[in-house]
Amino acid sequence: MLSYNALLEMFRQNSVGIPLITRKVVLYHTATKVAYIPPVTSLFAKIPILNLIVALLFWKPFFAVLFAPGLVCMLIALLPIIWFERKVTARVQWRYGPLEISRDIGGLIQPMADGMRYFFQEVITHREAHRPYFLQFPLLTFLPVLLPILVIPVGAIYAINTPYSIPAAIALISLIPMIIVAIGWASNSKYAYVGSLREAFMYFSYEIILIVAAMSMVILYGSANAIEIVREQSVVPGVILNPVAALVFFIAIIMATSRFPFEIPEADPEVVFGPFVEYTGIIFGLVMTIAYEKLYLLCLLFSILFLGGWNGPFIPPLGDLSPVLWLFLKTFALMMIFVFFRTFYGRYRLDQALKIGWSTLMGFAVVSLGISLGLGVINIAGWL
């Protein structure tokens, strides 16, 4: 039985260090007068229960899931990326995009207005739907979205440090399509049925190459632990070591997150948002963000595997948050590239996407595996 103090001590032992808020900050400094702001966390240090909550929040495993790279970072990335997507598309299309809602910041809060509108709209469950599942599955999506965070570390912040973090993350991410297929089944409508079939087919087309590309990097670095992998890339990032794997992984992400040109399961003119056709209101808001959440997760993985993860100049005041910042910036930049594809691509057909996945990309994936094996041999022989 853990005592209160032992629990508190356990949280404090393994807490996130951010000098900006856990150390004293010098505000005003002359030779005689020195003004400090006492650390914010120390305010609560003495108050029972509250100090436990604060300690829990800063406890690394909890912090990882809830703040970085978990839920909060995801939301911070999502709102601007949806706005950015609409803005950059509009820019390429010779127009402005969302603007008038807040002219000074270019309509940045437009996604929030849409969210508010969704929130207060009626939720319709149609007669044919499998009612309990129809409402449960959208909420269940948080499970496969947050589970991979457990094994994705950022610098020293991680929930579970495992030597199998990359395979585990990919395995957990691949739960998302199952939820989508289940959503399509629960909707019990023809278009939802066609849409979830498409989702299932797309899953087959990208999953193998995604795994092969990731594994080729694992072979190259000689470890499946994300922390090891990032350390290996301290000089040369993975994208230079094995560009083919990066390319394959990149395209697999497009397929996995149904971005253009592989936006096939939700194809609006063909199957009217496929699995999500019957959803209304805030539940639709939930299911529509699945693709963006998945994009965020896979971009995290891409940054870790190919872009040197959280490597970057250390910023002392941020402490443990400095790697978080670098990883977040890389991830966000990647997401911006992915959403840009909407501006100049249409969508492929399902059978074409399958063909691309199974022939061209599979070939590239095997080549990337070969490159990794070759580099690995050179590395072991000590020629590098």
Partner 1 sequence: MRDVNAENIEFLSSGAIAPVKKWGAKWSLWAVHLVTSCCGVELAHAYASGYDAERWGTLNFGMMRQTNLIIVEGTITKKMARALRITWEQMPDPKFVILIGACGIEGGLFWNSYHITRPWKIVPVDYFVPGCPPTPEGLISAIRALQKKIEKGEARTTVKFRETDLAELLGTEAGKERKPPKPPLKIAEKPEIKVEPKEVEWELGKQLVGKLKERIPYAEVFTTDVNRIYIKTDAKFYKKVAKALECEGFDHVKSINVIDVLHENKFIVECSVSSYSIKEFMPVIVTFAAEIDRCNPRIPSLIDVWLSADYQEREMHDFFGVWFEGNPNMGQKFLIAPEVETPLRKDFKLEEPSYVLEENK
Partner 2 sequence: MAGVKKIKPPSPDFLETIKLHLDAFGVGLREAVKPSRMTVQYPRELRKRPKGFRGMLVFDISKCISCFQCAFVCPANAIHMKKAPNGKYYPCVDYAKCIFCHFCRDTCSKGAWKTTNFMDVAFKSVDEMLLTTEKLVNGPEIPEEEREDEYVVEYEIRGGKLVLKKETSPDRIVEVED
Partner 3 sequence: MSEMKEYSLPVPVKPPAEIKSLELPVPPGLDEKATKGDEIVLFVGPQHGGSGHMRLIVRVHGDVIREVIPDPGFVHRGVEKLAENKLYVQNIPLVERPAIMDCVNFSLGYVRAIEQALDIEVPERARYIRTMLAEICRIGTHFYDAGILSVFLGHTTGFMWPFALRELTCEALMRVAGARITASYVVPGGVRRDVDNSTLNYIYEAMTYIQRKAKDFERIFVRNPVTIARLKDVAALSKKEAIKYGIVGPFLRACGVEYDVRAVEPYDAYDELTWDIVVADEGDSYSRFLVRVNEIQQSISIINQCIKTLKDMPQGNIVSADVAGKKKAKEGEEKKGLDTVNGAFFRLFGRLTLPAGEYTTLTEAARGTLLYTIVSDGKSNVPYRLRIVTPGWYYLKGFMESLKGCRLADLQAVYGSFGYFPPEADR
- Contacts to partner 2 by CB under 8 A: 88, 91-96, 340, 343-345
Q: Which is nearer to partner 3, 263 or 293 (CB)?
A: 263
Q: Which is nearer to partner 3, 148 or 274 (CB)?
A: 274
Minimum distance from CB of 282 to partner 2 (Å)?
30
263, interface contact from partner 1, partner 3, partner 2, none, CB < 5-8 Å by kind: partner 3
Among 80, 97, 243, 312, the residue binding partner 1 under the rule CB under 8 A is 97
Q: Which is nearer to partner 3, 9 or 351 (CB)?
A: 351
Is cis: bond before 261, omega within 30 of 0?
yes
CA distances 258 to 58, 194, 254, 264, Å, are: 35, 15, 6, 6
207, interface contact from partner 3, partner 2, partner 1, none, CB < 5-8 Å by kind: none
The burial class, CB within 10 Å (0-12 / 13-18 / 19+), for 95 is exposed
Q: Which is nearer to partner 1, 28 or 94 (CB)?
A: 94
CA dist., res. 175 & res. 192, Å (int)? 19
Minimum distance from CB of 97 to partner 3 (Å)?
11
Interface map 336-355 toward partner 1 (x if CB under 8 A): --------------------
Among 69, 70, 107, 153, the residue binding partner 1 under the rule CB under 8 A is 107
3-class DSSP assignment, residue 367: helix
Q: What tokens were used for 93?
A: 């299309």
Q: Which is nearer to partner 1, 113 or 337 (CB)?
A: 113
Minimum distance from CB of 269 to partner 1 (Å)?
7
Is cis: bond before 69, omega within 30 of 0?
yes
DSSP 151-213: G--BTTB-S---TTHHHHHHHHHTTHHHHHHHHHHHHT-HHHHHHHHHHHHHHHHHHHHHHHH
Among 3, 28, 49, 95, the residue binding partner 1 under the rule CB under 8 A is 95
Minimum distance from CB of 124 to partner 3 (Å)?
15
CA distances 301 to 218, 259, 327, Å, are: 12, 17, 10
CA dist., res. 29 & res. 120, Å (int)? 51
- Radius of gyration in angstroms for the set of CA atoms belonging to the chain, rounded to a whole number: 23
Minimum distance from CB of 301 to partner 2 (Å)?
24
Beta strands in 33-72 (DSSP E): 34-37
CA dist., res. 5 & res. 10, Å (int)? 8
The interface region with partner 1, picked from 22-30, 250-258, 271-279, 300-308 by CB under 8 A, is 271-279
Among 62, 63, 273, 292, the residue binding partner 1 under the rule CB under 8 A is 273
What residues numbered 113-142 form the site for partner 1, per CB under 8 A? 113-124
Minimum distance from CB of 80 to partner 1 (Å)?
17
CA dist., res. 58 & res. 14, Å (int)? 8
Q: Which amino acid would we find at residue 230?
A: V
88, interface contact from partner 2, partner 1, partner 3, none, CB < 5-8 Å by kind: partner 2
Dihedral sign (CA 246, 77, 105, 340): positive
Residues that bind partner 3 (CB under 8 A): 89, 92-95, 190-191, 193-194, 260-261, 263-264, 267-270, 272, 342-352
Q: Contact residues for partner 1 (CB under 8 A)?
A: 86, 90, 93-101, 107, 110, 113-124, 268-269, 272-273, 277-281, 284
